[in-house]
A and B are shown apart, each in its own frame.
Chain A
Amino acid sequence: MRHYDRDRLHRVALTLNGMPREGHCESRTLLSDFLRHALGATGVHVGCEHGVCGACTVLIDGVAQRSCLALAVSAEARDIRTIEGLAAIEGPIEGELGDLQSAFRRHHALQCGFCTAGMLLSATDFLRRVPAPSEAQVREMLSGHLCRCTGYTGIVQAVLEVAAARREGRRA
């Protein structure tokens, strides 16, 4: 059993994009705010803060989850992946975009980009579990993300193209 009192700051240690990191926060601090403010991962975008918009989605132990619906203290010892670390697991060459990121660019799947980081992380987890998705499955997965610019068509195409390319062993 581990106690975190309301009246003091607590140390939270976790792995962020492959690096051991730690910071201090209150027991009530949201994981999204901890990643942004204590650890500098400002690619975690904060939109609605009640789990609807999907902008703050990160990978926790490889699984796409809302960081605004998690407390930072509950992420102790977890492996967190944000958009800052996506190219490192996706891309074959350091410093280059991963295949999902490249496909999003090619398909005009972003405009302002606010929702994009969360979508890319969701799609990363999703394609690992569903390597050959139907368009309906991709749309169901993307229903957890709100984009007010593009209208989703390019986003769906980008995800489907990457899935097909990966199945054929080539890079989209």
Chain B
Amino acid sequence: MKPPALDYVRVDSAEEAVALLGEHGDDARVLAGGQSLIALLNMRLANPRLLIDISRAPDLDHVSATSVLAVGAAVTQAAVEWRPHLAEEVPLLAQAFPHLGHFQTRNRGTVCGSIAHADPSAELPLVLSVLDGDVVLRSVKGRRIVKAEDFFTGMLVTARAPDELLEEVRFPRAAPGTRYGFTEVGMRHGDFAIVALAVAVSRSAIRFGVGGVGGRPVAADWPRLAGSALEDALNQLAWTLDAQDDHHASAQYRRHLVRTLGKRLVEELS
């Protein structure tokens, strides 16, 4: 349970990080908080030649709240969680944070790191997907902005190219008149979710997101459904998720949770 031998570089800027990524590509991994990556190294599930530590790059340690909440790659989850007005800025994030790992891991783990890692059970990719947020990718060639839906391509797989740094994520601010809800079921508090649900209910529409079931977070757009129409939509969605049996839960139980918890959550917000 110790990391394999590796070279380590601590960079002082995003520019230095992308230069190294341009040079080393897939042989390098970006280290920010390390709350997933160092566990993977300890278990020898990752074996990069080079770690690029961006945690002390000042130009990546910024949060700005304009029409979006933009979070730089070195910003810890705690730094966002403890923003005094987060519940008004991005209410879905504020609701999701208590489910996300633990107090101690949020203190070091980063928001962008969780997005880049793209665990299908993780809360932040689900929140970013339901809010239709953006990911900013930067390489020596320049920047590109990718929608969350296009960024998460599969289990732990994203649209990030080997020479790109996930520089920033952008969460859209709360829309007036829209209500947000988040819930999940896991084995223990702070564990990865068996099923996680994030919902935004506006005057005319429902955006319903599911994490933990398929290989990536999935979001569906519906009109304001209720009663049996809502049940039918949830059931149809549950069957499209390609739920799998594993040692935590059966596929059947996961579909059951999507239907029952989903109905409860939407009704609470309606």
Binding site for B on A (CB under 8 A): 1-7, 26-30, 33, 49-51, 54, 57, 60, 63-66, 68-71, 73-74, 76, 122, 125-126, 129, 139-141, 143-145
Contact = CB atoms under 8 A, between A and B. Distances in A.
B42 A50 contact: yes
A71 B2 contact: no
B103 A64 contact: yes
A144 B10 contact: no
A79 B254 CA distance: 45
Nearest to A3: B9
Given A4-B9, A28-B6, A74-B8, 15 more contacts: A1-B9, A3-B9, A5-B7, A28-B5, A49-B2, A57-B104, A63-B78, A63-B108, A68-B42, A73-B8, A74-B10, A74-B55, A143-B188, A143-B189, A144-B101
A28 B10 contact: no
A60 B105 CA distance: 12
| Chain A binding surface, main DSSP class | mixed
A90 B16 CA distance: 41
B76 to A, nearest CB: 9
Contact of A71 (B38, B98, B102, B104): B38
Contacts, number: 116
B34 A71 contact: yes
B58 interface: no
B7 A3 contact: yes
Given A50-B1, A74-B10, A30 B103 contact: no
Given A4-B7, A27-B6, A28-B6, A140 B39 contact: no
Which 3 A-B pairs rank lowest in CB-CB distance, beginning with the nearest?
A144-B102, A49-B1, A50-B39
Contact of B108 (A3, A66, A126): A66
28 contacts: A2-B9, A2-B10, A3-B7, A6-B6, A7-B5, A27-B51, A28-B2, A28-B8, A28-B41, A29-B2, A30-B3, A49-B1, A49-B42, A54-B104, A64-B103, A66-B35, A66-B104, A68-B38, A69-B38, A70-B38, A70-B108, A71-B34, A74-B10, A139-B189, A141-B103, A143-B103, A143-B188, A144-B102
Contacts of B8: 3-4, 27-28, 71, 73-74
B70 to A, nearest CB: 23
A91 to B, nearest CB: 23
Nearest to A141: B103
Contact of A143 (B6, B82, B102, B108): B102
A14 B39 CA distance: 23
A63 B105 CA distance: 11
B11 interface: yes
A66 B105 contact: yes
B162 interface: no
A91 B213 CA distance: 49
